[in-house]
Amino acid sequence: MRAPDRWDSHRQMELILGLVFTTIMSTRGMVVRRYRLAGVETPALHAFRRQFSLSCLRSGINVYHPQNLMGHSDLQVLNRYC
């Protein structure tokens, strides 16, 4: 078995980023289709992220839990949603 080289690492990262991009674009496409069918303006995907954080905070969840789920390193970033 050969040791992984730089190309292998690059290829793995390319695959991961490709999957993430595909997932984001697939989600965006699904949201756009649903909103068009409903006949309402399509929101930015970040609006869902903002709503999630606000819902967590308003329901009394410990502020550190949504911070970790959303990948924020600092509470100041989460405070922008309030």
Domain boundaries, the chain: 1-42, 44-82
pLDDT digits (tens, 9 = 90+) for 18-35: 666 667 677 788 888 888
Ranked by mean pLDDT, the top range of 3-17, 46-60, 68-82 is 46-60
Q: Indicate the SS3 state at residue 41.
A: coil
Tokens 């965006």 correspond to: 28
pLDDT digits (tens, 9 = 90+) for 33-69: 888 999 998 888 788 888 888 888 889 888 888 888 8
Cα-based distances in Å from 11 to 1, 7, 50, 68, 69 = 18, 6, 33, 28, 27
Q: Is the pTM of this model over 0.85?
A: no
